[in-house]
Amino acid sequence: MTTLAKEFQAKSGMKVTLNFASSGTLARQMQEGATPGIYLSASPRWMKFATGNSSADSTTCSPVVRNRLVAVVPKNSQIDTLNFSSSPDFPKAFAGRLAIGDPAHVPAGQYAAEALKSLGWYETLKPRFLKAKDVRSALMVVELGECEMGIVYATDAMKSKKVRTVGVFPEDSHQPIEYWAAKGKYGGSAADSLLNYLHSAEADYIWKKFGFKTIAEQGKSNTNK
């Protein structure tokens, strides 16, 4: 979002202020009176919460991009690449803690829990969870070596020079990881412009540069299956 915000500012002359936090935290802030121009969330649950209490405009709500869920380890870890498609025994691949976003309010953690349940590993790994306040914190404890394994978004793993991706969770093991954007309750014409920009071809190029899959690109992929 930082690069997108800079490009939009340069193009439009409109200032963009970013507020990064978990989807649940941001949605609660909006309910309590925060007035963002746009709410961007990877959680259908929290987007529904925000539009349901009119903190965000449901008529402007639509998916922007998709992401993948991956398992990461510290760069110097001896853990080999895992192929989840062939059903490896993931809980036995490592002995330490597993960092995930707190499923109570962090979308990445909710997707992680869903994937682990789908693959039959949730109950075994649950006692080893380190529940982080957001996905970036989950990544950070793996970077610091405080957790032997973590489950994060592919795009966050891609940006880090301190972790290594060892597995990609099957897309059918969890709900699609879609980022939805909606205009805030008090968003004006500047919010309209930014929302349109996030869906533009120019923005698509930037999204893909950072590892995201655009909705149009996903549609083509599904059509070709």
pLDDT band per the 50, 70, 90 thresholds, residue 217: low
Residue 220 has pLDDT above 60, yes or no: no
Ordered domains of the chain (ranges, CATH): 2-66+176-223 (3.40.190.10), 69-168 (3.40.190.10)
- Is the pLDDT reported for residue 219 higher than 60? no
- C-alpha span between 48 and 28 (Å, rounded): 12
Q: Indicate the SS3 state at residue 217.
A: helix
The gap from C-alpha 90 to its chain's centroid, in whole angstroms, comes to 22
Contact by Cβ (8 Å): 152, 135: yes
In this model, does residue 5 exceed pLDDT 90?
Answer: yes
**pLDDT score recorded for residue 88:** 76
CA distances from residue 169 to 23, 72, 177 in whole angstroms, order as listed: 22, 11, 12
Mean pLDDT value of segment 112-128: 97
Q: Binning pLDDT at 50, 70 and 90, where does residue 223 land?
A: very low
pLDDT digits (tens, 9 = 90+) for 31-90: 999 999 999 998 888 999 999 999 999 999 999 999 999 999 999 999 989 988 777 789
Per-residue confidence band for 216, with pLDDT thresholds at 50, 70 and 90? low
Backbone dihedral region of 13: left (phi > 0), alpha (psi from -120 to 50 degrees) or beta? Answer: left
Strands 38-41 and 177-183: antiparallel
pTM for the whole structure = 0.80
Q: What's the mean pLDDT when you consider all of the chain?
A: 91
Q: Which range (13-22, 118-127, 162-171) has the least confidence?
A: 13-22
pLDDT band, very low/low/confident/very high, at 222 (cuts 50, 70, 90):
very low
Q: Mean per-residue pLDDT for 116-125?
A: 96
- What is the per-residue pLDDT across 131-187, written as a single tens digit (0 to 9) for each? 999 999 999 999 999 999 999 999 999 999 999 999 999 999 999 999 999 999 989
Q: How far apart are CA 119 and CA 116, in angstroms?
A: 5
Q: Which residues contact 134 (CB under 8 A, 6 or more apart)?
A: 21, 22, 25, 101, 106, 108
Position 100 scores a pLDDT of 98
Long-range contacts of 11-20 (CB under 8 A, 24+ apart): 11/197, 12/193, 12/197, 14/190, 14/193, 14/194, 16/194, 20/136
Place of tokens 């110097």: 76
